[in-house]
Chains A and B, each alone.
Chain A
Amino acid sequence: MVPLNWYLLLSAAVFFIGVAGFLSRRNIIILFMSIELMLNATNISLVAFSHYLLDMRGQIMVFFIIAVAAAEAVLGLAIIIALFRNKATTNVDEMNIMKG
């Protein structure tokens, strides 16, 4: 039996890879994919908790997270399309018209 901590470590690793990607890439779509990575990492740890603590609530939380991730992806991508229509770029460094 694999100890629970290994799953948590895997989840932390994937989560912080997502954080690193989010903080370092320029392409806004890759930034969104980094967010998906982070959400998946939390899902891994919740499912592992659910299995090891003999409780279904972890899996129900994952179910909700997947639904919210779908909503977030839809809205985010709609915003990207609206932005691209105005600026014709996906580079986050050039999206600075709100800067005073």
Chain B
Amino acid sequence: MGGVIFGYLAGVIILLSILVITVKNPVHSVMFMLLMFFHIAGLYLTLNAEFLAAVQIIVYAGAILVLFLFVILLLNLKDELRMKRTTWSWPLGVAAAGALFIAAFLSLRSFVPGTKGVITTAVIKAETNTKVLGRILFTEYLFPFEVVSLVLLVALIGAIVLAKKRQRS
């Protein structure tokens, strides 16, 4: 049963990610990506990461992708649809990516997983995934968490500075 679900999700994720980078119209590409995010969230659910599944939809699908869509709609699509979709060097790019994939595939054979931790499925069931994640995030990883909030603040200010129309002096 687990294998069938994984096979379905993996197949659809790969198919949709190929569609995302190949279709001509960026709006269609966003729609395929939306569908792909849902399947990735499903994959997280099979891995007992329910909080991340929800965050995947809220942040990626609900915020980042909407932003993409918004920017695509602000730009002029008519010219985009007429121009060639790939650069002249696209076979080189695809070949490089394929070669890297083969290298990763070959190195996977000599991969040895590290030591196991203590958060078993039983612990997660007793305390819920969200609580376990929150406890570790706010104790062991408190400093990185604060740093990430600073990163978001910088992004916020940077976006306003970049997108604002320059004042005529």
Contact = CB atoms under 8 A, between A and B. Distances in A.
Q: In the complex, are there CB atoms of A and B closer than 8 Å?
A: yes
Interface in B91-129: 92-94, 96-98, 100-101, 104-105, 108, 111, 113-120
Given A63-B55, A66-B59, A71-B154, A25 B2 contact: no
B26 A71 contact: no
A51 B92 contact: no
A17 to B, nearest CB: 5
A29 B71 contact: yes
A72 to B, nearest CB: 8
B100 A26 contact: no
A14 B14 contact: yes
Given A6-B6, A40-B40, A64-B144, A84 B97 contact: no
| Max chain B C-beta neighbours (<10 A), residue from A9, A20, A22 | A20
Contact-residue size bin, chain B (C-beta under 8 Å from the other chain):
35 or more
Contacts of A14: 13-14, 17
A4 B113 contact: yes
Interface string A23-35: 1111101101110
A69 B40 contact: no
Contacts of B116: 53-55
Contacts of B141: 60
Interface of B: 2-3, 6, 10, 13-14, 17-18, 20-21, 26, 29-30, 33, 36-37, 40, 43-44, 47-49, 51-52, 55-56, 59-60, 63-64, 67-68, 71-72, 74-76, 79-80, 83-87, 89-90, 92-94, 96-98, 100-101, 104-105, 108, 111, 113-120, 132-133, 136-137, 141, 144, 148, 151-152, 154-156, 158-159, 162-163
Given A25-B85, A67-B151, 10 more contacts: A2-B3, A7-B47, A16-B100, A23-B97, A47-B43, A48-B47, A63-B52, A70-B152, A73-B68, A93-B87
